[in-house]
């Protein structure tokens, strides 16, 4: 993992500019061979500019990371210590006590909420990815009359403010008795117009039509071609779409807030909010809950960041 | 994009050929529809039906059937025409909420987008090493769910425990992040914190797609690094800028998580601080007139405003090109 990151940093940023000892002219003077992606000496920014940039970037990095670090610190403190001790450093570490309080306040539901979140996000991710990729593949590789209109609908869906749909969705689900069931969260979370868009972009560029034709000539059915050939070719896109849906579902708040009453069905975001708003809780325990609810996502992000980037790139460059 | 037809195998008469092609086309269309069908069904359930139901509901209000002495009886849907819409557009609470959101967006979106663009330009230049660390670090807040981010910042604004408030007051500055004049800025900071890295990555992706020959050509013509940035890079990422601003407008109009969390400790914010909060609480009947009809009308008016803003922005952007 770490070495992969370093490799990537070296190849994409092109900042490796050290002069190797071997690179000497016949008269012994050093020279720098030109390497793709690395600027010539005349184009290298001055040391002052680089130092200034470093200061600014580290400052910005602190802005982005300090709250996360603060959560890590606060989660170890009791209420009185939160007030009395320095905000950015540990005092008497009480993770265990806060953990016990977290479970007590949530009446043991905390891990149930986390498991619910994992379940909602994973299921929606898997189902949503499959139907998005199938739709994207269809829109990229098949010709039928309503294709243009379908594409238009889905693109319009991408720009629809989803929160505004939540209230109408509640009305519909309530009238058919689906509110306060897992379906109320799962069904809407599976639908990702962005996933279809991404699937279509990938299918256009990485599924060769010749390959499909060859498989058809060999007598393979369309379903078989899709599951054995196409899905394999679209694997990188599928990881990206899965991530987008997974994170979107994990982070969604308004939808479960509207749809669910039952504490045992709540995802962790909703559970934490309830805990924070209904009681005047031990803040350290809430922060510990927040930390534990965010960790799975952060691990997922760090591990699969390559895919995020490619997804964002497709959105930024091709739309 | 273009799907090629199978070349006819062997020699065939034109009539046969047309028939074969017609059959192949029909088969292709059928397969295409089958692959897109699961998504379309779900899309219909989650997008289209609710939209249609919302439009229908917006013309109705629940009223007591009125059989009983005290106006009681079963509540039934009564067609009220445009009454719900009239109630929304004449409601000062709604426009106050819109006003807050627009003011918030007018400040927050430019700050966030310019910051994201500046960071992306710096990371795309030769100015720094360790790009990966910054990229990940700036992006990490995006992994924090909005509601959790709002809770964390809310605690960080709470005077008794906030290291920021304590630090500032040690410097002689007493800032009340929860004050009526400050709270929009405080929430703007939450959104900026969460989404700057995400937008930066969109810009970075667009920057990396620019052909590097352009830089070389500019260099040969004697352009400085600054000129390359302002004359080539910035104009070339205009598409990404359009995307990020549109997504931000759409995101802002739905502003809900941050004010909802802030309202738990600042009761003066009420339950209609933003239009989305108002829609939610109208749905729950905590704001009168409540229920499906009025809540649907609010959602629809908001969608129209959001769509209008997005179209206006896109047109302005196009005119500039």
Query: Tens of pLDDT along B274-287?
Result: 999 999 999 998 88
Asked if A9's CB is within 8 angstroms of B296's CB, the reply is no
Instruction: State the pLDDT at residue A153.
Output: 87
What is the secondary structure of A111-169 as a DSSP string?
A: HHHHHHHHHHHHHHHHHHHHHHHHHHHHHHH---TTHHHHHHHHHHHHTS-HHHHHHHH
Instruction: State the pLDDT at residue A9.
Output: 41
Asked if B209's CB is within 8 angstroms of A253's CB, the reply is no
Q: Which residues of A touch B156 (CB under 8 A)?
A: 67, 70
Q: Which residue has the higher pLDDT, B53 or A50?
A: B53
Instruction: State the pLDDT at residue A37.
Output: 58
A99-135 residue pLDDT tens: 888 888 888 889 999 999 999 999 999 999 999 999 9
Q: How many angstroms away from the CA of A112 is the closest CA of chain B?
A: 18
> Is pLDDT of A228 > 50?
yes
Instruction: State the pLDDT at residue A50.
Output: 83
Residue of A nearest to B128 (CA): A50
Asked if B299's CB is within 8 angstroms of A168's CB, the reply is yes
Residue to mutate among A49, A123, A163, with most B CBs inside 10 A, is A163
- Look at the alpha carbons of A150, A156, A159, A165 in this order and tell me if their dihedral is positive or negative: negative
Q: Which residues of B touch A290 (CB under 8 A)?
A: 148, 151-152
Average pLDDT of the segment spanning B141-164:
88
Residue of A nearest to B283 (CA): A167
Q: Average pLDDT over chain B, rounded to whole?
A: 86
pLDDT confidence bin for B66, thresholds 50/70/90? low
Closest by Cα among A228, A129, A239 to B38: A129
> Is pLDDT of A1 > 50?
no
Q: B78 has which bridge partners?
A: B61
pLDDT confidence bin for A2, thresholds 50/70/90? very low
The percentage of residues in chain A with a pLDDT greater than 70, rounded to a whole number, is 86
Instruction: State the pLDDT at residue B166.
Output: 79
pLDDT confidence bin for A36, thresholds 50/70/90? low
Residue to mutate among B23, B28, B46, with most A CBs inside 10 A, is B46
**Integer Cα distance of A40 and B38 in angstroms:** 54
Asked if A82's CB is within 8 angstroms of B3's CB, the reply is no
Q: Which residues of A touch B33 (CB under 8 A)?
A: 138, 142, 144, 146
Half-sphere exposure of A241 (CA within 13 A, CB side): 34
pLDDT confidence bin for B18, thresholds 50/70/90? confident
List phi, psi (to 5°) of B155.
-65, -35
Tell me the pTM.
0.85
Q: Which residues of B touch A260 (CB under 8 A)?
A: none
Q: Which residues of B touch A301 (CB under 8 A)?
A: 139-140, 142-143
pLDDT confidence bin for A14, thresholds 50/70/90? very low
Average pLDDT of the segment spanning B206-219:
86
Q: How many angstroms away from the CA of A297 is the closest CA of chain B?
A: 6
Residue of B nearest to A54 (CA): B128
Closest by Cα among B313, B321, B283 to B110: B313
> Is pLDDT of B320 > 80?
no
Q: Which residue has the higher pLDDT, B165 or A259?
A: A259
A233-253 residue pLDDT tens: 998 889 889 988 998 999 999
**Which of B122, B132, B142 has its CB closest to that of A8?**
B132
Asked if B144's CB is within 8 angstroms of A162's CB, the reply is no
Q: How many angstroms away from the CA of B122 is the closest CA of chain A?
A: 8
**Which of B1, B32, B161 has its CB closest to that of A138?**
B32
Asked if B302's CB is within 8 angstroms of A161's CB, the reply is yes
> Is pLDDT of A222 > 50?
yes
**Helix (H) or strand (E) run with residue B61 in it:** strand B60-64
Q: How many angstroms away from the CA of B200 is the closest CA of chain A?
A: 10
**Integer Cα distance of A222 and B34 in angstroms:** 10
Which are the contacts of B303, defined by CB distance < 8 A and separation ≥ 6?
Answer: A160, A161, A164
Instruction: State the pLDDT at residue A20.
Output: 54
**Integer Cα distance of B150 and B153 in angstroms:** 5
Residue of A nearest to B212 (CA): A37
Asked if B126's CB is within 8 angstroms of A45's CB, the reply is yes
> Is pLDDT of B70 > 80?
no
Rg (CA), chain B: 27
Q: Which residues of B touch A139 (CB under 8 A)?
A: 32, 36
Q: Which residues of B touch A209 (CB under 8 A)?
A: 3-4
Poorest-pLDDT segment among A91-95, B50-54, B295-299: A91-95
The percentage of residues in chain B with a pLDDT greater than 70, rounded to a whole number, is 91
Instruction: State the pLDDT at residue A124.
Output: 97
> Is pLDDT of B117 > 90?
yes
Q: Helix crossing, A47-74 with B146-157: angle to 10°?
A: 90
Q: Which residue has the higher pLDDT, A181 or B221?
A: A181
Closest by Cα among A198, A211, A205 to A239: A198
Instruction: State the pLDDT at residue A281.
Output: 67
Asked if A131's CB is within 8 angstroms of B261's CB, the reply is no
Instruction: State the pLDDT at residue A7.
Output: 42
> Is pLDDT of A31 > 70?
yes
**Which of B4, B29, B119 has its CB closest to that of A145?**
B29
A249-289 residue pLDDT tens: 999 999 999 999 999 999 999 999 988 877 666 788 888 99
Instruction: State the pLDDT at residue B72.
Output: 57
**Which of A70, A171, A204 has its CB closest to that of B292?**
A171
pLDDT confidence bin for B291, thresholds 50/70/90? confident
> Is pLDDT of B206 > 60?
yes
Q: Average pLDDT over chain A, rounded to whole?
A: 83
Instruction: State the pLDDT at residue A6.
Output: 41
Residue of B nearest to A10 (CA): B130
B237-273 residue pLDDT tens: 988 898 889 889 888 888 999 999 999 888 899 999 9
**Integer Cα distance of A76 and A209 in angstroms:** 57
Average pLDDT of the segment spanning B181-205:
92
**Integer Cα distance of B251 and B194 in angstroms:** 12
Q: Which residues of B touch A9 (CB under 8 A)?
A: 129-133
For residue A19, what is the DSSP state?
Answer: P
**Integer Cα distance of A266 and A149 in angstroms:** 37
Asked if B139's CB is within 8 angstroms of A301's CB, the reply is yes
């Amino acid at each position: 993992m770490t070495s992969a990151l370093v490799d990537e940093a070296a190849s994409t940023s092109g900042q490796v500019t050290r002069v190797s000892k071997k690179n000497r002219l016949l008269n012994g003077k050093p020279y720098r061979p030109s390497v793709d992606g690395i600027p010539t000496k005349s184009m290298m920014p001055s040391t002052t500019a680089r130092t200034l940039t470093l200061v600014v970037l580290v400052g910005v990095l602190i802005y982005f990371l300090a709250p996360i670090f603060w959560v890590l610190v606060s989660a170890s403190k009791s209420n009185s210590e939160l007030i009395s001790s320095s905000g950015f450093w540990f005092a008497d570490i009480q993770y265990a006590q806060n953990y016990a309080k977290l479970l007590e306040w949530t009446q043991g539901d905390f891990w149930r909420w986390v498991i619910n979140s994992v379940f909602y996000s994973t299921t929606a991710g898997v189902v949503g990815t499959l139907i998005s990729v199938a739709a994207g593949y269809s829109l990229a590789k098949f010709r039928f009359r309503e294709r243009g209109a379908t594409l238009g609908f889905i693109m319009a869906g991408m720009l629809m403010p989803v929160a505004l749909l939540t209230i109408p969705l509640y009305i519909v689900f309530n009238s058919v008795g689906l509110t306060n069931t897992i379906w109320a969260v799962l069904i809407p979370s599976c639908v990702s117009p962005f996933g279809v868009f991404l699937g279509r972009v990938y299918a256009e560029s990485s599924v060769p039509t010749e390959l499909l034709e060859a498989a058809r000539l060999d007598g393979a059915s369309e379903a078989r071609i899709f599951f054995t050939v196409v899905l394999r070719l679209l694997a990188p896109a599928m990881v990206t779409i899965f991530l987008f849906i997974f994170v979107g579902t994990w982070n969604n708040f308004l939808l479960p807030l509207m749809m669910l009453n039952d504490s045992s069905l709540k995802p962790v975001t909703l559970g934490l909010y309830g805990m924070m708003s209904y009681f005047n809780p031990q803040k350290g325990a809430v922060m510990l809950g927040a930390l534990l609810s965010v960790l799975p996502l952060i691990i997922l992000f760090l591990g699969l960041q390559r895919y995020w980037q490619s997804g964002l790139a497709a959105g930024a460059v091709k739309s | 994009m273009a799907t090629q037809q199978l070349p006819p195998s062997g020699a065939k008469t034109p009539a046969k050929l047309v028939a074969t092609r017609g059959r192949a086309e029909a088969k292709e269309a059928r397969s295409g529809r089958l692959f897109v069908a699961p998504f379309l069904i779900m899309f219909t359930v989650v997008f289209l039906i609710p939209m249609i139901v919302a439009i229908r509901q917006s013309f109705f209000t629940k009223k007591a059937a009125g059989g009983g002495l005290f106006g009681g009886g079963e509540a039934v849907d009564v067609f009220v025409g445009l009454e719900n819409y009239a109630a929304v557009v004449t409601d000062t609470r709604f426009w106050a909420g819109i006003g807050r959101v627009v003011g918030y967006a007018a400040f927050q979106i430019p700050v966030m987008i310019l910051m994201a663009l500046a960071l992306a330009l710096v990371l795309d230049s030769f100015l720094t090493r360790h790009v990966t660390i910054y990229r990940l670090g700036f992006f990490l807040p995006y992994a924090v769910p909005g509601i959790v981010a709002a809770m964390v910042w809310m605690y960080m604004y709470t005077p008794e425990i906030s290291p920021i408030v304590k630090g500032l007051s040690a410097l002689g500055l007493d800032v009340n992040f929860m004050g009526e004049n400050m709270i929009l800025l405080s929430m703007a900071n939450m959104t900026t914190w969460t989404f700057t890295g995400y937008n930066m990555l969109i810009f970075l992706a667009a920057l990396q797609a620019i052909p590097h020959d352009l830089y070389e050509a500019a260099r040969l013509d004697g352009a400085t690094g600054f000129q390359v940035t302002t004359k080539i890079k910035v104009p070339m990422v205009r598409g990404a800028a359009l995307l990020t601003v549109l997504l931000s407008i759409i995101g802002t109009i739905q502003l809900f998580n941050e004010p909802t969390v802030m309202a738990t400790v600042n009761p003066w914010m009420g339950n209609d601080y933003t239009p989305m909060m108002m829609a939610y609480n109208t749905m729950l009947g905590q704001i009168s007139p409540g229920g499906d009809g009025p809540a649907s009308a609010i959602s629809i008016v908001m969608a129209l405003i959001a769509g209008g803003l997005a179209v206006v922005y896109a047109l302005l952007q196009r005119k500039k090109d």
